[in-house]
Structure 1
Amino acid sequence: MKKTMYNKEMIRLLNMNIYCEYLLHNKPPIIFIHGFVSSVYTFRRIIPFLSKHFSIIAIDLPGFGRSVKSTSFIYSYENYGKLIAACIEHFQLDKVFLVGHSMGGQIALYTTKLVPDKIDKLVLLSSSGYLDKAKRWKRYCSYLPFCEIAVNYVLKKRSVPDNLKNVFYDQSLITKDLIEEFGRPLKEKNFNKSMMRLLRYREGDLTSEQLKSIDKPALLIWGREDKVVPFYIGMKLEDDLPDAKLIAYEKTGHLITEEKAEAVSKDIGTFFKRSNE
């Protein structure tokens, strides 16, 4: 690996400025991939546990967090997968572990299909699955002048606290810091344009047939009370992926890295460590 110190900085991937946090110390590397309208902040509570035994790389995907809100990038899962592949190349990594939350889980799967030789194992945290691409009329509407206004309306229709209530089982864990962090990107220039382009270009999730070709060991971690990606999606993914194991936490919602940080960290660490025994 090229770098040996902890950093929070912009790196260039696919000719874009991508925000990256990394700690590389000659230990097996984990790349963290966040979900929709999220950022590396998603993993803030589990990274300290895992950094003791693994090198850590977490990026904000284009359109989210502190990364560029590009108005030219084609926001598809395949291109996000290519971005993760470029990140692997940037840091000169081999035998990478992927951890993807929600939409990030689907991107982890796409990445594994693109560069299977670079991926060792993957963990899918409440991963999206079996969603079709946006309906044709919505994609056509994304080219119309009023679409950006409509996207802005939809994103702001529910307040950030209301959105957080939807992803937490334990409402008492919602803090002012969480509200501020998840609300900040919504105010950034070109955020609406990037979300409009994601609506336009995002292809559907991988099909059952495509999933059956991904033979990497996979750990699926779910909250039983997940309202965003219901538990049955995890059960279906476990059936379709050739080498997958599903575990569930009781009284836990979609944002399991916040609600069950210690348990998630322990389960991920145990799963990945077995590769080095």
Structure 2
Amino acid sequence: MEQDVLTGYKPVNDTNVYYEFYPNQSSDKTFVLLHGFLSSTFTYRHLISLLKKDYQVLSVDLPPFGKSAKSNRYVYSYKNLAETVIKLTELFGLKKMVFIGHSMGGQIVLNILHMRQEIADKAILLCSSAYLKRAKMPLVLTSYLPYFHRFVKYWFARTGVKRNLQDALYNHSIINEEMINGYLEPFLKDEIFMALTRMIRDREGDLPRKILNQIQTPCLLIWGDHDKSIPLKFGEKLKQDLKNSELIVIRETGHALPEERPMEIFEYIKGFMEKSQMAAE
């Protein structure tokens, strides 16, 4: 039976990680939701409202985003973020989870599958980051300059939340004050920009093809055909490199799938889960 949400912080890897946990005693499946760059668990609010009725859900604010701590001492590599998520799920005593990752969150899911394949039952990758190289050395070196975080803040202020949403969405009509404020709120304090400066240095490149080929976990890839951030060609390439995967393309949709198409995503997820269950039987 569905219960109220449990929210809070847990100390993991020397940082405080914010989570939203939706227990569901009638389900033996737990979905773990990981958001993308410059985002938070807020991006999953519509999908969570659908998933929590049938499944248990854990949504995580990946450091330094959302309400999680913004430390300039934490190592913001994908490997360490993946380890942080794994340790958080262990604190909840979760087993055989289904991981959902959007954009950068998808790359962290892939790191989890590479590191601890046995804890994942399945994975759903929504316009997942893939084949992105590490930041070039001149940028990494420049990030050590005093007050570099002010340049990061200036860049963010120039692009602006509304413009970023317009780039991420195909359907601009759904942009409203709630959405703009939800994405803006975590960026109102300087600490996030100091942490993002550290992330420029720590973030390694996306997993190479050789490692992707070794991942056996069943993966459902869902892409928007008008994704400007991570174009569909990367989804098609990822489908080739993940041996146990299928790709679904949603028409007239941009990068922000959980915002534009939560109901369609939920239906595809249910079909993916049911198909896997039938194959197991």
**What TM-score do you get using the length of structure 2 for normalisation?**
0.94
Question: Helix, strand or coil: the match of 2:216?
Answer: coil
The CA distance in 2 between the partners of 1:69 and 1:204, in whole Å, is 22
Q: Which amino acid aligns with 1:246?
A: L
2: CA distance, partners of 1:97 / 1:221: 15
Q: CA deviation at 1:54?
A: 1.1
Deviations, residues 2-25 of structure 1 (Å, cap 9, x unaligned): xx7531212222232111101122
- Which amino acid in structure 2 is aligned with residue 11 of structure 1? K
* CA displacement, residues 175-220 of structure 1 (integer Å, 9 cap, x when unaligned): 1111111111111241111100111110000111110011110000
Q: Secondary structure at 2:67's aligned position in 1?
A: coil
**Residues 24 and 52, structure 2, Cα contact 8 Å, conserved in 1:** no
Match of 1:13 in 2: 12
The alignment partner of 1:44 has SS state of helix
1:25 equivalent in structure 2: 24
Amino acid at match of 2:157: K
* Residue matched to 2:41: 40
Percent of pairs with identical residues? 35
Structure 1 stretches of 4+ with a deviation exceeding 3 A read 273-277
Shift of 1:250: 0.6
Map 1:203-214; keep pairs closer than 5 Å.
203-214=204-215
Partner of 2:53: 52
The answer to whether the 8 A contact 2:103-2:128 is kept is: yes
- For structure 1, list consecutive stretches of 5 or more residues without a partner in the other structure: none
Instruction: Give yes or no for the alignment of 1:151 onto 2:152.
Output: yes
Q: 1-side partners of 2:242 and 2:191: how far apart?
A: 37
| Cα distance per residue 1:53-73 (max 9 Å; x no partner) | 211000101110011001110
* Greater Cα offset, 137-146 or 160-169: 137-146
Indicate the SS of the match to 2:228. coil
2:72 matches 1:71: yes
**RMSD of aligned Cα (Å):** 1.2
Who is 1:133 aligned against?
134
Distance 1:18 1:189 in 2: 18
Moved more, 46-55 or 6-15: 6-15
Please report how far the alpha carbon of residue 146 of structure 1 lies from its aligned counterpart in structure 2 after TM superposition: 3.6
Q: How does 1:1-277 map to 2 (within 5 A)?
A: 6-26=5-25, 27=27, 28-277=29-278
Separation (CA, whole Å) in 2 of partners of 1:87 and 1:10 = 10
Deviation track 1:50-91 (CA, whole Å, cap 9, x = no partner) reads 112211000101110011001110000000100111122111
Which amino acid letter does the alignment assign opposite residue 109 of structure 2? A
- SS in structure 2 of the partner of residue 46 of structure 1: helix
What is the distance in 1 between the residues matched to 2:105 and 2:270?
Answer: 19
Contact 1:69 1:189 in 2 (8 A): no
